[in-house]
């Protein structure tokens, strides 16, 4: 530009010289009559001013303005120059031959300041310039931003977005705008404008998802009312990315058509810019028709619970996005979902509690195919196959155990079904598998007992019964004597007997005590029945009475004669009487007199010459088909001894 200004100046002076030569020639030829000699102008422009609108350091640019002289009769034009002092030393022309009516000339932008100190305006005519020009001291105005910063909050690869910020110049009096570009170099050789903001604003937001392309720099230029600065402030672009390195989801809702479980993930990259994660269910790996699950997850937490019973619908993937402070990324991680349905099958419950309206026994089932996610099985009694009004039937069974034990005497209530639920580490399934309940009732019938121990207070005899009409679950019978029909204060008679046995013997001399009932229980492989079938334990007492004896053996200490007695009032179970000579009334050291006599005979003959001086009692025992009574009816016998004295004999032959 300075070369062009000099050329313009030289051309002007050549034109003036040529004009003077022509005037001399015309005068010499007598064709021009010279007038009085003219002189350069003596007037000056006023109010000269220059405002530097070039915002780069050591560069000038902008309008040079002035007010024309009041009398311009001697002025044909103006010369505007830059100089190293106010007199024009080392001038560099800005404008030559500027119209006399003009009031300004433009100093091009990027004009080097070099050592210039003033801008000068000369008034001029054909005779030259004025001697002393008007001068304006130069002031280089520079205004550049500083500390350009950019944080990329778009976490997708090769995309940027976020605020560009800077510190404004200390003097912004000449700044009108800030202009932001992306470029391939610091100098902005290849650049693309992003936007313009007015002075007073020190931020420009690059829209999210802006393509990074080949751009490597962000440039910020100041701009005056005329020019944009040439040398910008800059910042290198750092593309922020957050990449999913792993993603997981296991369905722990064990019902078909429902999802539930933890989505988990790990991310690497610009983690300082990640503020949240957003989790979705979607209909494809490309996040088609996605639906957000739960709230945003703060960074630092790498999982989200998708609640149990979430309808699967058409969702095929779990999709997780990173989210910066500004926006959600368009990049994401995706993993397919598999709907786990873990239902048991083939439920069997055989009621082994043989009482009416009570349950007890093993509940068994076949495990689901997807048993790997099952931690426990829960069995309930319920009012329907879907678990209505359920009540837990057994302790939970761990995975690998395909049965649960229901305690005996569990009330039937109104339950109609047994249902089994699977449970994962997260939740128990909602819809169980059920089977119909059937109460097993196995009572014996016709329990009978006749006491054939004929002593008062003692029992003995056969206890009999008829088997249940359905004895399919019965393996044993248990027989007791008890204080009441419910089996209170019971005492077992012998051991359990097999299904095919229908009677047991209660041995004679069993003390009746408080036992008033004989009870018979059925018994399955697991439990003895709680409520037995009972009959009375009636005590039969049948003893002889009124025992009498007349000793007809008249020898001293020898006895012989008839023993008689009265029969018992109830002799139904009596079959015989046994008569003994005994040392005591209780029958100690007894020896039987002859053989047993049948019921209906109330007399027995002791042969003569029986010599039992140590057994002064006659004891009569009653006897049933079971046993002889223990406590006899006894009589102390009296020896009838008759001795003759003074015996004489007269032979009368």
Beta bridge partners of 468: none
Beta bridge partners of 243: 268
The predicted structure's pLDDT at residue 644:
52
Give the range among 4-18, 92-106, 211-225, 502-516 with minimum mean pLDDT: 4-18
**Using an 8 Å Cβ cutoff, are 162 and 152 in contact?**
yes
Q: How sure is the predictor about 646, in pLDDT bands with cuts at 50, 70 and 90?
A: low
How large is the average pLDDT for residues 273-282?
Answer: 96
The H or E element spanning position 11 is: helix 2-28
Give dist(CA 521, CA 519) in Å, integer.
7
The predicted structure's pLDDT at residue 650:
73
Predicted confidence (pLDDT) at residue 66 exceeds the cutoff of 90: yes
How large is the average pLDDT for residues 273-286?
Answer: 96
**Using an 8 Å Cβ cutoff, are 104 and 64 in contact?**
yes
Predicted confidence (pLDDT) at residue 426 exceeds the cutoff of 80: yes
Predicted confidence (pLDDT) at residue 29 exceeds the cutoff of 50: no
Give dist(CA 305, CA 319) in Å, integer.
13
| Tens digits of residue pLDDT in 105-162 | 999 999 999 999 999 999 999 999 999 999 999 999 999 999 999 999 999 999 999 9
The predicted structure's pLDDT at residue 128:
96
The predicted structure's pLDDT at residue 24:
42
Please, is 268 exposed, middle or buried when counting C-beta atoms within 10 Å of its C-beta (0-12, 13-18, 19+)? exposed
The predicted structure's pLDDT at residue 22:
46
Any residues with CB less than 8 A from the CB of 652 and at least 6 apart, and which?
A: none
Predicted confidence (pLDDT) at residue 622 exceeds the cutoff of 90: yes
Q: What is the pTM of this model?
A: 0.69
How large is the average pLDDT for residues 215-222?
Answer: 97
Give pairs for 23-26: CB < 8 Å, separation 24+: none
Please, is 71 exposed, middle or buried when counting C-beta atoms within 10 Å of its C-beta (0-12, 13-18, 19+)? exposed
- Tokens (6 digits) for 138: 């130069």
Predicted confidence (pLDDT) at residue 462 exceeds the cutoff of 80: yes
Give pairs for 382-385: CB < 8 Å, separation 24+: 382/415, 382/416, 382/417, 382/418, 382/419, 382/432, 382/434, 383/414, 383/415, 383/416, 383/417, 384/416, 384/417, 384/434, 385/417, 385/419, 385/432, 385/433, 385/434
| Tens digits of residue pLDDT in 346-364 | 999 999 999 999 999 999 9
Q: Which domains does the chain have, with CATH numbers?
A: 2-137 (2.60.40.10), 146-236 (2.60.40.10), 242-336 (2.60.40.10), 345-436 (2.60.40.10), 445-536 (2.60.40.10), 545-636 (2.60.40.10)
How large is the average pLDDT for residues 168-178?
Answer: 97
Any residues with CB less than 8 A from the CB of 277 and at least 6 apart, and which?
A: 265, 296, 297, 299, 301, 302, 304, 320, 321, 322, 323
Beta bridge partners of 361: 406
**Using an 8 Å Cβ cutoff, are 308 and 254 in contact?**
no
**Mean pLDDT taken over the chain:** 92
The predicted structure's pLDDT at residue 38:
74
HEC readout, 221-245 = EEECCCCECCCCEEEECCCCCEEEE
Q: How sure is the predictor about 597, in pLDDT bands with cuts at 50, 70 and 90?
A: very high
How large is the average pLDDT for residues 277-303?
Answer: 97
Predicted confidence (pLDDT) at residue 467 exceeds the cutoff of 80: yes
- Tokens (6 digits) for 126: 């054909």
- Tokens (6 digits) for 135: 């001068």
The predicted structure's pLDDT at residue 215:
96
The predicted structure's pLDDT at residue 283:
97
**Using an 8 Å Cβ cutoff, are 553 and 610 in contact?**
yes
| Tens digits of residue pLDDT in 489-528 | 999 999 999 999 999 999 999 999 999 999 999 999 999 9
The predicted structure's pLDDT at residue 641:
64
Question: pLDDT above 70 covers what percent of the chain?
Answer: 93
Any residues with CB less than 8 A from the CB of 511 and at least 6 apart, and which?
A: 457, 458, 459
The predicted structure's pLDDT at residue 26:
43
């Amino acid at each position: 530009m300075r070369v062009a200004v000099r050329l313009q100046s030289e051309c002007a002076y050549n034109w003036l010289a040529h004009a003077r030569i022509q005037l001399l020639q015309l005068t010499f030829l007598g064709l021009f009559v010279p007038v009085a000699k003219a002189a350069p102008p003596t007037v000056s422009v006023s109010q000269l001013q220059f405002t530097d609108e070039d915002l780069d350091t050591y560069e000038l640019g902008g309008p040079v303005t002035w007010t024309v002289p009041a009398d311009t009769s001697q002025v044909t034009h103006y010369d505007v120059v830059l100089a190293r002092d106010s007199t024009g030393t080392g001038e560099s022309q800005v404008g030559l031959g500027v119209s006399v009516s003009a009031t300004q000339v433009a100093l091009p932008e990027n004009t080097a300041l070099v050592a210039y100190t003033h801008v000068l305006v000369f008034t001029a005519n054909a005779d030259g310039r004025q001697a002393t020009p008007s001068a304006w001291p130069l002031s280089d105005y520079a205004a550049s931003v500083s500390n350009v910063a950019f944080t990329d909050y778009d976490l997708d690869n090769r995309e940027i977005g976020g605020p560009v910020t800077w510190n404004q110049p200390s003097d912004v009096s000449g700044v009108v705008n800030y202009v932001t570009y992306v470029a391939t170099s610091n100098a902005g050789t290849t650049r693309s404008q992003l936007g313009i903001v007015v002075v007073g604003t020190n931020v420009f937001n690059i829209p999210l998802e802006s393509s990074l392309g080949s751009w490597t720099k962000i440039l910020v230029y100041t701009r005056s009312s005329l020019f944009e600065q040439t040398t910008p402030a800059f910042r290198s672009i750092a593309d922020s990315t957050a990449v999913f390195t792993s993603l997981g989801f296991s369905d722990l809702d064990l019902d078909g058509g429902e999802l539930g479980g933890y989505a988990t993930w790990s991310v690497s990259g610009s983690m300082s810019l990640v503020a949240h994660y957003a989790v979705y269910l979607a209909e494809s790996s490309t996040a088609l028709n996605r639906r957000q699950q739960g709230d945003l997850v703060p960074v630092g937490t790498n999982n989200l619970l998708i609640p149990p019973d979430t309808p699967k619908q058409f969702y095929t993937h779990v999709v997780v996005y990173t989210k910066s402070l500004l926006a959600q990324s368009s990049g994401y991680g995706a993993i397919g979902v598999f709907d786990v349905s873990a239902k048991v099958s083939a439920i069997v419950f055989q009621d082994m509690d043989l009482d009416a309206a009570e349950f007890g026994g093993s509940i068994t089932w076949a495990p689901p195919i997807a048993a790997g996610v099952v931690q426990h099985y829960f069995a309930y009694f319920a009012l329907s196959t879907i678990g209505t009004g359920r009540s837990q039937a057994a302790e939970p069974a761990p995975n690998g155990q395909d049965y649960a034990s229901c305690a005996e005497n569990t009330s039937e209530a109104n339950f109609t079904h047994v249902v089994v639920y699977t449970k994962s580490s997260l939740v128990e399934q909602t819809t169980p598998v059920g089977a119909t309940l059937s109460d097993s009732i196995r009572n014996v019938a016709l329990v009978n007992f006749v006491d054939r121990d004929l002593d008062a207070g003692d029992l003995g005899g056969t206890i009999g019964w008829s088997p249940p009409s359905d004895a399919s679950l019965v393996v044993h019978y248990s027989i007791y004597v008890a204080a009441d029909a419910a089996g209170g204060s019971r005492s077992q008679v012998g051991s359990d007997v097999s299904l095919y046995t229908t009677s047991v013997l209660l041995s004679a001399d069993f003390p009746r005590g408080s036992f008033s009932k004989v009870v018979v229980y059925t018994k399955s492989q697991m439990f003895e029945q709680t409520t037995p079938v009972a009959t009375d334990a009636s005590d039969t007492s049948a003893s002889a009475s009124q025992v009498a004896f007349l000793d007809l053996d008249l020898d001293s200490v020898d006895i012989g004669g008839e023993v008689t007695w009265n029969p018992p009032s109830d002799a139904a179970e009596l079959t015989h009487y046994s008569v003994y000579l005994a040392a005591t009334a209780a029958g100690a050291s007894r020896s039987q007199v002859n053989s047993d006599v049948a019921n209906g005979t109330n007399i027995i003959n002791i042969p003569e010459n029986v010599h039992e001086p140590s057994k002064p009692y006659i004891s009569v025992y009653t006897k049933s088909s079971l046993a002889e009574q223990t406590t006899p009816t006894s009589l102390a016998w009296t020896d009838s001894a008759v001795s003759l004295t003074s015996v004489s004999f007269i032979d009368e032959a």
